[in-house]
Amino acid sequence: MKKIVVVGLSGGVDSSVSALILKKKGYQVIGLFMNNWEDENEDSCNAWKMDKTDAMLVAQKLNIPFQGIEMKKEYKKYVINYMFNEYKLGKTPNPDILCNKKIKFNFFLKKAIGLGADFIATGHYVKKTTILKNKKIIYRLLIGKDTNKDQSYFLCQLNQYQLKKSLFPLGSLTKNQVRKIAEKNGLHNAYKKESQGLCFVGKIRLPQFLKKKILPKKGKIICIDSNSLKYKFNNKSFSSKEEELFFLSKKKSIKNQMEK
């Protein structure tokens, strides 16, 4: 019996070629389009509708089942609200990492499993390998062939189960190769412009976006000399290099900074 793979079809060339490759490898492929964000902005609304249309056309071309799923509530709760809260605390979050951890490889994965899938697949430029450690299979996430498109950093928080259930068909390809494969196989979006900006939201002007929930306020920019005593740790010992680096990068409160 063929293994079932649900591909997150975004309407872009990367996920489209991922679906194409998996079908050629003999998998039973299902395309799922995630609608996670819809702004009141007309351009935003039109953008996701066009992406969904592109995804449907690809599914039709590949002759695979296709459906759209709504995950706006989950996305708002676990990504958008998190981002606003972090900025309110004066931090600089990376919503794309959380989007992958909580949305694509969590809620989306669960929906795929519910459809009977053995795996999910995305168009990320990363590789997955396994090693045997203490008689246990360990899944490893590695940099993809195209170092200009490598996205392993954005998947850094995936756990072993999420990696086990995920396939990354583009890990050994470059972006140019992916476009050529799409063109050769008659995919209409072979040279579609890449999406940029915030995961599922797109290209935004961050200050204006944040002002929707956070009132601007004046703050102080404090520069600390690299020779400051706050960085001195004399004979402090560390159990690992990681612990030492964490100590050196640890943030101090503004009050402590001012005291130095």
Predicted confidence (pLDDT) per residue in 151-195, tens digit: 999 999 999 999 999 999 999 999 999 999 999 999 999 999 887
Q: Per-residue pLDDT for 129 more than 50?
A: yes
> The domain spanning residue 147 has which CATH number?
3.40.50.620
> Does residue 147 sit in the same domain as residue 245?
no
> Does residue 149 sit in the same domain as residue 180?
yes
Let me know if residue 222 belongs to a domain.
Answer: no
Q: For residues 51 and 228, which has the higher predicted lDDT (pLDDT)?
A: 51
Of residues 179, 197, 196, the one with CA closest to residue 188: 179
Active site residue 45: no
d(CA 214, CA 212): 6
Q: For residues 32 and 233, which has the higher predicted lDDT (pLDDT)?
A: 32
Is the distance from CB of 5 to CB of 167 less than 8 angstroms? yes
Let me know if residue 143 belongs to a domain.
Answer: yes
Let me know if residue 160 belongs to a domain.
Answer: yes
Look up residue 9 and give its two tokens. Answer: 């079809």
Of residues 81, 5, 6, 7, the one with CA closest to residue 37: 81
Q: For residues 195 and 9, which has the higher predicted lDDT (pLDDT)?
A: 9
Helix 42-62 × helix 13-24 angle, to 10°: 20
CB-based contacts of 100: which residues, under 8 Å, 6+ apart?
154, 155, 157, 158, 199
> Does residue 234 sit in the same domain as residue 144?
no
Q: What is the pLDDT of residue 136?
A: 95
Active site residue 199: yes
Q: What is the pLDDT of residue 253?
A: 37
> Does residue 250 sit in the same domain as residue 158?
no
Written as one letter, the residue type at 129 is T
Q: Per-residue pLDDT for 146 more than 90?
A: yes
Q: Per-residue pLDDT for 42 more than 50?
A: no
Burial class (CB in 10 A: 0-12, 13-18, 19+), 40: exposed
Task: Show the domain range for 178.
Answer: 4-210
> Does residue 111 sit in the same domain as residue 186?
yes
Band (pLDDT 50/70/90 cuts) for residue 66 is very high
- Tell me how many domains the chain contains: 2
> Does residue 252 sit in the same domain as residue 137?
no
Q: What is the pLDDT of residue 196?
A: 62
> Does residue 118 sit in the same domain as residue 77?
yes
Q: For residues 92 and 63, which has the higher predicted lDDT (pLDDT)?
A: 63
> Does residue 165 sit in the same domain as residue 250?
no
CA 24 to each of CA 17, 35, 42, 191: distance values in angstroms, whole numbers, following the listed order: 10, 27, 38, 21
Let me know if residue 220 belongs to a domain.
Answer: no
Let me know if residue 224 belongs to a domain.
Answer: no
Written as one letter, the residue type at 34 is M
> Does residue 246 sit in the same domain as residue 187?
no
Q: What is the pLDDT of residue 120?
A: 98
Let me know if residue 23 belongs to a domain.
Answer: yes
The per-residue pLDDT of the chain, averaged, comes to: 86
User: Which one of the listed residues 45, 156, 199, 223 is annotated catalytic?
Assistant: 199
Band (pLDDT 50/70/90 cuts) for residue 258 is very low
> Does residue 120 sit in the same domain as residue 242?
no
Let me know if residue 53 belongs to a domain.
Answer: yes
> Does residue 245 sit in the same domain as residue 154?
no
Choose from 43-57, 105-119, 227-241 the range with maximum mean pLDDT: 105-119
Of residues 199, 17, 34, 22, the one with CA closest to residue 119: 22
Of residues 95, 122, 114, the one with CA closest to residue 17: 122
Helix 175-184 × helix 13-24 angle, to 10°: 70
> Does residue 195 sit in the same domain as residue 238?
no
Let me know if residue 10 belongs to a domain.
Answer: yes
For the chain, give the longest Cα–Cα distance. Answer: 68
